[in-house]
Amino acid sequence: MSTVSDSQAPFFPPIALGCMSLPESFSEAEKVLLKAVDSGISFFDTADLYQKGKNELNIGRALRYRRSDLILATKVGNKWNPDGESWSWNPRKEYIVQALEESLKRLQTDCIDLYQLHGGTLDDPWEEILETFELLKSQGKIRAFGISSIRPNVIRNLLAMNPPATIMMQYSPLDRRPEETVFPLLEETTTRVLVRGAFAKGILIDKPLAGFLDFPEEKVGEIKAEIQESGFSPEAVLIRFGLSEKAVSSLVVGASSVEQVEKLQKAVEECPSIPGELITRLKEKLPKNHYKDHR
């Protein structure tokens, strides 16, 4: 991928490596990160909250020589409290500016490709937040901004004020809440969704069956069986499911080992061969679920 110029918003590849579950050990994290790069992944998503900054430190150190070919995304807003055991929400300008400088140092870069607010409610000072992001863009310290939020009311409000480049939210066969309002809303805009939770906490891959949102274990089992009996790897099916939505640009998929990256690479290669009919059948298995709050 060519280097993104400072004046452009970044291009978002269909797969990003979600770095939250990376090993805390640098040597182990480095193996996972370099394997991802060698597998063709060029998009990495982290947050200053993860491992109290160690996550960003490991990414910056491991990828510093490949930086010009990569897209780095991180998040801001959750501030560790002095006790080191909890965090507080702080979306104010002073904190965002300070936190960005610290993230830049840890990531060993002079510009973040995608800087995301790590949450957000209607009560937040959105004019101040958006002015801060625009200031950081004008300074060349970030290329684009996004938010990580599942709240439809927040998303509508933000689109009316200053549409972000991306919105990160959960989406899978067991969590189709974005289909009701958010996806149709975003399809007609330039804002795109970064999907997290595409594997439904691993329940649809290899984790034990369990209920999910409003769906009891029995219903979850029906979806899992459909996927398992499809003849394709579950990872490939779920990637195809997420990317089939027009509003979705990328799936952020976590990996904590080299083996998981290898499975992800194989799933991405397999994905184009999965028929659309299978995705349709999965959607017909369960009714759409809806957001109960923040509508």
Q: What is the pLDDT of residues 51-70, one digit of tens each?
A: 999 999 999 999 999 999 99
Q: At what angle do helices 152-161 and 126-138 cross, to 10 degrees?
A: 50
Average pLDDT value over all residues in the chain: 93
pTM over 0.85: yes
* Structure confidence at residue 9 (pLDDT): 57
- Give dist(CA 199, CA 171) in Å, integer: 9
- Give dist(CA 106, CA 127) in Å, integer: 28
- Give dist(CA 153, CA 160) in Å, integer: 11
Tell me which H or E stretch contains 253: strand 248-254
* Structure confidence at residue 2 (pLDDT): 30
Catalytic residue flag (residue 115): no
Using the predicted structure, report yes or no on whether residue 26 has a pLDDT greater than 50: yes
Higher-pLDDT residue of 249, 10:
249
For residue 120, count other CB atoms closer than 10 A to its CB: 21
* Structure confidence at residue 124 (pLDDT): 95
Higher-pLDDT residue of 277, 293:
277
Rounded average pLDDT over 238-256: 96
Single-letter amino acid, residue 205: I
pLDDT band, very low/low/confident/very high, at 293 (cuts 50, 70, 90): confident
**Residues 143 and 114 sit within 8 Å (Cβ to Cβ):** yes
The one catalytic residue among 50, 65, 115, 171: 50
Residue of 134, 87, 36 lying closest to 44 (CA atoms): 36
pLDDT band, very low/low/confident/very high, at 291 (cuts 50, 70, 90): confident
* Structure confidence at residue 7 (pLDDT): 40
